[in-house]
Each structure stands twice: as structure tokens, then as C-alpha cells.
Structure 1
Amino acid sequence: MARTYTAYNLRIILVLTLGSLTFGYAYSVISNTLGQPGFIQKFGLDGSTSYANAITGSVNGVFAAGGTFGALLTGWMCEARGRKETMRLGALITVVGSALQTGSVDIAMFLVSRGITGFGIGMLVVLIPIYQAEISPPNARGWLVGQHGSWIVSGYAIAGWVGVGTYYSSNLSFQWRFPISISCLPPLGLLACSPWVPESPRWLLTRDRVEDAWNIVRRLHGDPNDEEDTFARNEFYQMVQQVQVDSSAWAQTGNKGLFTKPSYRKRMWMGFFIQYSAQTTGAMVIYLYMVQLYQNLGETGGIPLILGAAYVTVAAMSNFLGAYLLDKVGRKPLLATGLTGCMICLSLVTAMVARFAGTTNKAGNGMGVFFVFSFIAFYGGGIDVVSYVYCSEIFPTHIRSQGMAWAIVGTFLSTLVYVEAAPTALANIQWRYYLVFICLTLVNIIILWFWCPETKNLSLEEINERFGDEVVVHLADVNAKHEGIPLEQFTGMPREQRESSGK
């Protein structure tokens, strides 16, 4: 399996990361918005503490709720209408929601538009890793699909630094409206580039569009130094054979098979568990309420915003490192390392907050800030980048969209519960709220290690075997030149003859 990916393949992956950037920026921008004096004054959040906590929780809660419904819609639409059409709709909804947020005149309008944005974001966060996984070769899939998590966190970082810059503006309306308005740019870019993005070849095969699928696979994974395009042909042969078998099995069970067929049921709950465990580290609670956390550790003025932006910049760098390591180290060891590191770091953060919050002890508060940064390094490099890759690859083609949607529901439901409760919990039980995440993460590490299989360097079709399903063709064994593949009269042609035929 010498061939990995072409320049064309990489370009398509990077175009798709505009959807990842959309999610990261739109999700993250609210963290700084909640700390902007202009936003606080506009919506009257500088008065009653209980009212401010309720509104803060609702702002994050409606976004997560919208994301849940968007993810569920994608589970159906991605299969029924294709990856490309779903991508365009998700991008369009996000643009509309972000524009309405920017122009909000009261808190009700802001909450509704935040929910609309969450709906579009929920669609994209399910769709993008599926799309990337289905056009990536096995030995580079971790690196390529890992760009999803990397660019999500890059969106966090951009939002953080934009928020730092506008904090010092004397125009209170500009302080919070301008950062939110930028949420429109990445999805607009995705819409503009969508004509050049091909449909997923694996989805095309489920619709019997074999010739269209082959043309895309050959362009994605063809080798200019190999006239026979051996790797692309072998890969395509495996796709065709496996789709036929999987479709036949699906016809016997239908949608009920998602939770009645043991191999499918295991994958559904495993995907949900992976995304749930990522949120149960407490990452979103720490990030969305980071300004308050740093204020508890003695930081004031614009410093919490600067530290927040630096925090997500470290996360972005960690994600890119994790994506690089993913195909070398494997999914399971990297994820276990990330969960363990987060658990330890959050334990140390909790100890510093419990002991030094509200005091003038600079050493203790400084160590608290250091452990927060250590936490995100483990989360970015070991959890964020891995979770999307793993969940996008464990499902067979005909249920990948439903499975990924269900997994992302795990993200949004966990986030909804944790961030909705956070303002009240942090106000009343304070640092003890973090103990919930520490204890649950310990349990999750044990479950991960003994339950989840490794998927490194396996094709999407071969991963079926790890869950007890039949794999018709293994890439290591197949030689399409001799065995013959569907469309043999076309794919078996020499390159010159194919090109002269207009194919």
C-alpha cells in the first residue's frame, strides 16, 4: 500500500476544514462574548447574579440543543441526499444564524439565533469527518481526518484573539457584534468552494453510480507513476464488494438494525461513549467559563481574555501534533493518554482553586494557570483530534451518517447538561463541580481500554472485522488487475485510453 494521497485529495480535505473552522469559531466565540463589557451591558447581565447565571447557561444550552437536532437531521439527510447537499445546507443555516446573532436587539432574539447557529453547526460537525474519512486512504486517514479536530480548535484560537482585540474597543456594540459577525465567513467560503468538492465515492456506490464513484477514486488516489493505478483500483474493488454485502445485510434489518444487530449496536454505543467521554473531561466547562476560572485565580481586566486566547492556541498546536501521531501511535493509546492526562491536570487545577482561589498567593494561582494549560495540551493532542477520527471510521458505509450523528448527539447532550449546570454549580459548590469530571474520566479510561478496538491502518471496509462483521476483500490480498472489478471494461483501460474516452 505504497500510495497515500494525492495533492487533489489534500486540497479537498482542506476545503472541507472550512466546515470544521465554522464549528470551532461559532462555538467558541461566545466564550469571550460573555466577558465583553458591551455584551454584559446590552443585555443587562451586570445586575442580578442569578439572572446572569441563568442567561449564560441558556446561551450555551440552546446552542447545544440546536446542535443535537442538527446532528439528528444529518443522520438522515447525509444518507438520503448525499454528503455534498447536506454540507451546503448546514453552511447556509450557520450563515443565517450567525447573521441574526450579530444583529440581535434583545436577549430573546440572541437566544433564538444562537439555537439556529447551533443547528447548522450540528450538521457540519457530523458531516465533515464522515466526508473526510470516505475520501482518505487507510494509512493516512488519521492525519487527514485529524484536520477536522485541528481546525475546530484553530477556530477557537481565532475567536479568542479576535475577542482580545475587540475588548479594548471603546465602541461597546462593536466589542461583541464584530467577533460574532466573523462567524459568517468560513461557511460562506465553504459554500463558495462547494462546486469543486466531489461527492463521496462510497455514497455514490450505495446509489449504484459505480462509474461516477470510480472516476472520483481514481482522481483522489491515482498514482501518476503507475499507469495501472494499482492502489486506486484495489481500493475501489474492495469498496464495491463490501458495499454489496453491507447493503444486502442492511436490507434485512433496516433502521431497527442500528440497535438490534449486535455489531451495529456496539458501534452505536461506542461512538456515543467516545464523544461523551471527551466532554466528561470537563473541557467545555473549563473553556466556556474560563474567564470566571481565571478571575478566581486572581487575574483581572483583559488578562483572562488573553489567557483564554493563548489557551486555545496551545490546543490548536496540540491537535496538529495529535493528527501527525495518530497513524503512527494508534487511536486507542493516544486517546487513553489524553484522558489520563486531562484527569491528572484537572485534579491539580481543582487543588489549586480549592486552596488559592480568592487569595493573593501568586505562586499558587500561577500553578493553577499552568495546570489549565497542561490540561488543554492533553485534550487537544489526545482526545479532540482522536474522537472525530475514531467515530467517523468505525461504522460501515450504509450506517456511517446515522452512527456519526448519534455519536455527536453524545457530544451535544453531554455539553448541554454540563454547561447548563455550570454557572449555578460553580457559584454554589465551586471547585467541587470539577470532582464530577475527575471521577467520571477515571471510569471512562477503564471502559475505553477494555472495550474499544484499535483501527489504525485499516481500510474503512476492513474495520468491520473488528466488530465481528464479514470483510469480503482485504487490501493486502486483492490484486484488481487479475481478479477484475466492476467496470472492468473501463477501469482496466490504460490511462491514455481512459483519458481519450473522456472519462
Structure 2
Amino acid sequence: MAKLTSYNIAIALVVTLGGFSFGFGSSSFITSIGQPGFYLYFNLDPASSHTASIITAINALYCFGAAVGSIGQSWFADKWGRKKALFLAGVIALVGNALVAGSVAIGMMIACRIIQGCGLGALLALVPIYLAEVAPPRSRGLLTGLTVLSFGFGFVACAWIAVGCYHAKNFTLSWRLPLALSCVPQLFLLPGLLFVPESPRFLIWRNELDEAWKILKRLHHDPECSTDEDARTEFTQIVRQVDVENEENATFIQMFKKPSWRRRSLLVLFLLFAVQSTGVNGVTNYLPVIFASLGLDTGMSLMLYAVHTTCGTIFVALSLLVVDKFGRRTLFIIGFASLACIGLGEALLQWKYVGTDDKAGNAACVLFIFLFIAFYQCVDAPSVIWAAEIFPTSLRAKGVSLAVFAFFAGTITFGVPAAVAFQSIGWRMYLIYAGLSVVSLVLTIFYIPETKLIPMEEIGALFGDHVVTRMTANGQALVEEEKAGETHLEMAKPAPNEGLNRVVEWA
């Protein structure tokens, strides 16, 4: 079976700049509302309900833009290809980030955050699509999960920059600089994409077999095998499966008509919405404010936010190291169960200690917030991986767009109102998050299947689709589903200028 190569890694590092862009761009506003200069510039009272409503509106419209971008990218990704869609999303994100950084009024910032959201939301959807389609089966979880790790690094970078900006003498610079720096990742992403190949699965779907074979052979070249048998086997499996899938009309409507596609669509909507129902954005987006409620000054609140995002990113890396060994489903179960317990614990601690001078009690509240972000990584990265791998090639862009749409719908539902909710009901919010985690745990146990190490062309069988061939354990032969015994596959060498043209022989 094909192994992860240095070429795979190099491509992933370029493409994950899109994930880094999302993380930095999203975090830039979170850190800005933690700076006193933001409220002075816009003449806002940080403790008023009016200010909380404005921040809620800004975040809600950003999420709306991101949801629109995540759905819109599917049309571009299917028509023009994953690579061109990534480039377009990067351009929109760059323009949106620049406009947000230059905002001189709240109304302008609200409007520009919608544009920013469109670009960043599209990037968040496209990065895992591309990575899943170029990754070898045995390391698909690791490579696709780099999406989450990359936007984690974006959060970390922005958080520590914000800590430094807090000490700036120029109050306007303190909140505007992180917003301006959110343009930088796209300045590296856009030229980098010029050297990235198109997804071979997209090219096969579009019947561009010659180019697809050249790319796949380089992507999954095994130095120990001079005949590229692994790549040949994978190529043929993709071609045969795509031939069958192309017999179906791959539209959003059809996704909810065909039973096997409907099941996948509903499960991915549930899973990404469930991940947000844990309250992660409700906690993280207002973390500086929450820390302030525990008696910490602004500087310490920003410092703890930076440490918090750093810890979260470290645990993302740990989850990626085990996701292909223990599986996506196992991590989901561990994550939802742990988050339910932690949410209950945080509620009880804040009920008892918030507003008191008990340093040990308030420290325990902070500790549980850190435990929350650690165990949240059991569901975060695996959910993105799972969503990107369960759909057939013809539906993958649309399927992931549904997943990211559900992600932002969950953010709007559970994260955006958090500023007002925490002011109104305080610690009781954690009880709501804990209860929703219990519901998600039960549904996951009964309905989410395991996908680890299964070639993407075979995952459809888990949902009732017909799979034409199955790859053997060594990755160098295929078994035809219609036959009882094992059948080896050979791919004939194409004649000059004729291309592959699906010249597959069965021995």
C-alpha cells in the first residue's frame, strides 16, 4: 500500500496555509475584542449589553459569510477543480482580511466580516477535500487532519501576537495589527498553489486520465517498487469506482434522495453540528471575557488565551498521531464522553467560585477550561477527516460543503449568542453544553461507522453503496466484488500519445 512521501508532505504544507489563514483570520477578531483600544476606537463600553449585541452581530455575520462560502466553493471545485477553487478562495479571503483590518466604523467592519467569512469558509472546506484526495489510505487521517492542525497554528500565532500588541503604546495598533497580519498567509498560499498539482481524483472524474496518472504516480511513488504497482492498483480502483458513481446524478437534491447518500449527508450534518454543540466556540470566542469574569486582568486574560490555544494545538497534533491507529469513531466516543463530564465540572465550579476571592477555586475553573480544549481535540480533527473521506468523488465537494455549513450553523447556534448568554445565565451554559455532549455521544455510538485505513473508493460499502473492487492488504492487487476469489490486476502500458484510456486487463 502506498506510503506517505516527501512530495505529499510538501504539497500538504502549501495547501494547509489555507487552514492557517482560517485560524489566524478567525482568531484576529477574538483577540481584538480583548484589547482595550478596540473599545476606545469604536467608543464602546465593554461591559454593556449593547456592546455584547454588536460583537454578537459581527460574529454572526462572519459565520453567515463562512457558511455561504463553504457551500459556494462546491460549485467552483466541481467545475474548475480543487486547485483553482483554492486560489479563488484565497483571493476572496485576502480581500476580506484587508478590508476588515482597514475598517473605520462598526458598520464597515460588519460588512467586511461577511466577505472575510466567505473566503475563509471556502478555504476551510477546500483544504480537507484536497488533502483527502491526494493522501495514501494508511495516512489519510494524518494528512487530512493537518487541516485542523494548521488552523490551530493560526490561532496560536495570532494569540501570541495579541499578547505582544497588548503592550503597544498605540492603542489603535494593538487591535488593528493582528487584523492586518491575517493577510500574510494568503500572500504565501496564492503563489504556492502555482506549484501544487490538481487532485488526481478530480481529473479522473473529469476523464483526464493521462494527467491524473502522472500526478498519482508521483504522489504515491514507492521507492522500493520500480513498477509503481501500488499507484497502478489505486489508479485502476479509482477509475472503476468513478465509472460506477458517474452513472448517478450528483446534485444536492440527489444527495438527500438516494438512501446511501442521504445517510452520509445527514450524518455529516449531525456530526459537525454536534462538534459545535459542545460549546467550543461559545467558550473560546469569548475566553478573554470569561477569564476577566474570574478576576483576571486584561493582560493575564490575553496571556491565558494564548496558552489555551497553544495547548489545544498540541493536543490536535497528538490526536492526529493516533487517529489512524485507534480510529475516528473511538476518538469521537472518548471526546463526547469527556466533554460532558468536563462541562458538568466547570458548571459546578463556576457556580461555587465565580465572584469570590477563592484563588484555588478560580484556578480550578481555569484548569477545567484547559481540560475542555484538550479533550475537544478528540472530536475536532477526526470530524473533519471523517467528513472529507466518506463521500464519493462526484459528491465530495458538496458533502464537505454540507459539513462546513453545519460547522458554522453550529457556531451561530451555540457560539455567537454566548456573549449575551454568559452575561444572562453564566455557569448554566456549561450544563447545556454538557447535556448536548451526552446526546451526541449516544447518537455517535449507534450511527457513526469506523473508516480508518479503508481506501476511499471502498468506504461507500459502509453506507450501502456498491463497491466495484476492493484493494488487498498489500495494496498491489484488487478483488472484484462479483467474484468469490482474489483477482490480480494489471494495467497495460499506454501506447505513445494514446494515454491510459482505461486500458485495464484482468488476469
TM-score, L = length of structure 2: 0.94
Cα pair 1:332 1:454 within 8 Å, conserved: yes
CA distance in 2, matches of 1:313, 1:34: 19
Alignment-mate amino acid for residue 191 of structure 1: L
CA deviation after TM superposition for structure 1 residue 74, in Å: 1.0
CA deviation after TM superposition for structure 1 residue 255, in Å: 4.2
CA distance in 2, matches of 1:470, 1:437: 39
SS in 2 for 1:360: coil
CA deviation after TM superposition for structure 1 residue 335, in Å: 1.5
Q: 1:357 aligns with which of 350, 354, 358?
A: 354
CA distance in 2, matches of 1:157, 1:76: 32
Cα pair 1:211 1:487 within 8 Å, conserved: no
Alignment of 1:160-309 (within 5 A): 160-248=159-247, 250-251=248-249, 254-309=251-306
Cα pair 1:205 1:243 within 8 Å, conserved: yes
CA distance in 2, matches of 1:171, 1:360: 33
Alignment-mate amino acid for residue 426 of structure 2: Q
Match of 1:410 in 2: 406
Alignment-mate amino acid for residue 448 of structure 2: C
Cα pair 1:332 1:453 within 8 Å, conserved: yes
Cα pair 1:21 1:154 within 8 Å, conserved: yes
Match of 1:397 in 2: 393
Match of 2:84 in 1: 85
SS in 2 for 1:344: helix
Residues 486, 55 of structure 1: CA spacing in aligned structure 2 closer, same or farther, 3 A cutoff? farther
Match of 1:44 in 2: 43
CA deviation after TM superposition for structure 1 residue 156, in Å: 0.9
CA distance in 2, matches of 1:208, 1:394: 22
SS in 1 for 2:308: helix
Cα pair 1:159 1:179 within 8 Å, conserved: yes
Deviations 1:134-193 (A, max 9, x none): 000110001111111111111111111111110111101110111111110111211010
Structure 2 unaligned runs (5+)?
479-486, 500-507
CA deviation after TM superposition for structure 1 residue 420, in Å: 2.8
CA deviation after TM superposition for structure 1 residue 256, in Å: 2.6
CA distance in 2, matches of 1:116, 1:7: 35
Alignment-mate amino acid for residue 229 of structure 2: T
Q: Which deviates more from structure 2 when the two are superposed, residues 347-356 or residues 366-375?
A: 347-356
Match of 1:144 in 2: 143
CA distance in 1, matches of 2:419, 2:47: 13
CA distance in 2, matches of 1:272, 1:159: 29
Residues 13, 491 of structure 1: CA spacing in aligned structure 2 closer, same or farther, 3 A cutoff? farther
Match of 1:483 in 2: 489
Residues 254, 64 of structure 1: CA spacing in aligned structure 2 closer, same or farther, 3 A cutoff? closer
CA distance in 2, matches of 1:239, 1:160: 42
CA distance in 2, matches of 1:389, 1:36: 35
Alignment-mate amino acid for residue 12 of structure 2: I
SS in 2 for 1:203: helix
CA distance in 2, matches of 1:488, 1:368: 65
Residues 104, 28 of structure 1: CA spacing in aligned structure 2 closer, same or farther, 3 A cutoff? same
CA deviation after TM superposition for structure 1 residue 490, in Å: 7.2
Q: 2:439 aligns with which of 424, 440, 443?
A: 443
CA distance in 2, matches of 1:490, 1:67: 47
Identity percentage of aligned residues? 36
Aligned length: 489
Alignment-mate amino acid for residue 41 of structure 2: K
Match of 1:64 in 2: 63
Higher helix share: 1
SS in 2 for 1:474: strand
Moved over 4 A (4+): 486-493
CA deviation after TM superposition for structure 1 residue 491, in Å: 12
Match of 2:502 in 1: none
Deviations 1:252-300 (A, max 9, x none): x754320000000011111111111110110001001111211122211
Match of 1:425 in 2: 421
CA distance in 2, matches of 1:462, 1:136: 15
Please say if 1:336 is aligned against 2:333.
Answer: yes
Cα pair 1:57 1:419 within 8 Å, conserved: no
Cα pair 2:391 2:399 within 8 Å, conserved: yes
CA distance in 1, matches of 2:276, 2:340: 12
Q: Which deviates more from structure 2 when the two are superposed, residues 480-489 or residues 332-341?
A: 480-489
Residues 205, 54 of structure 1: CA spacing in aligned structure 2 closer, same or farther, 3 A cutoff? same
Across the aligned residues of Structure 1 and Structure 2, the Cα RMSD in angstroms comes to: 1.8
SS in 2 for 1:170: coil
Deviations 1:411-437 (A, max 9, x none): 111111223321221111111122221
CA deviation after TM superposition for structure 1 residue 482, in Å: 5.6
Deviations 1:28-55 (A, max 9, x none): 1211111111111111222771210111
Please say if 1:372 is aligned against 2:375.
Answer: no
CA deviation after TM superposition for structure 1 residue 492, in Å: 13
Alignment-mate amino acid for residue 473 of structure 1: T
TM-score, L = length of structure 1: 0.94
CA deviation after TM superposition for structure 1 residue 209, in Å: 0.1
Cα pair 1:149 1:319 within 8 Å, conserved: yes
Alignment-mate amino acid for residue 222 of structure 2: D
Deviations 1:377-424 (A, max 9, x none): 1112x0121111010001011000101101111111111122332122
SS in 1 for 2:182: helix
Cα pair 2:35 2:298 within 8 Å, conserved: no
Alignment-mate amino acid for residue 119 of structure 1: C
CA distance in 1, matches of 2:403, 2:498: 39
Alignment-mate amino acid for residue 111 of structure 1: I
Residues 299, 196 of structure 1: CA spacing in aligned structure 2 closer, same or farther, 3 A cutoff? same
CA distance in 2, matches of 1:68, 1:14: 25
Please say if 1:454 is aligned against 2:460.
Answer: no
CA distance in 1, matches of 2:205, 2:114: 33
